[in-house]
């Protein structure tokens, strides 16, 4: 089961309170401001700051991203 549209509309980054967007591969929710990516496990977004990874820069052509913890 995928995340509902209603849930995506109300979720925000717990750190900076900015909107999060579903990553193109569906693996996480990315904050539009601080670039933290919160993982999705078993169709449940894990909105914990300690679990997030910061994505540096745009995605590479292979679809991988550079992440710093």
Domain boundary assignment for the chain: 5-68
Alpha carbons 57 and 18: distance in angstroms, whole number? 18
CB-based contact 2:43 (threshold 8 Å): yes
Residue at token pair 């900076």: 16
User: Given a cut of 50, is residue 60 above it in pLDDT?
Assistant: no
CATH number of 5-68: 2.20.25.10, 3.40.640.10, 3.30.70.141, 3.40.50.1370? 2.20.25.10
Average pLDDT rounded to a whole number, residues 7-20? 97
How does pLDDT run across 17-48, given as a tens digit for each residue?
999 999 999 999 999 999 999 999 999 999 99
């Amino acid at each position: 089961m995928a995340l509902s549209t209603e849930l995506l509309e109300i979720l925000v980054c717990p750190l900076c309170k900015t909107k999060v967007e579903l990553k193109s591969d569906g693996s996480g929710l990315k904050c539009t401001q601080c670039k933290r990516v919160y993982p999705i496990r078993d169709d449940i977004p894990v909105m914990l700051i300690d679990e997030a990874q910061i994505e540096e820069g745009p995605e590479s052509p292979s679809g991988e991203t550079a992440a710093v913890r």
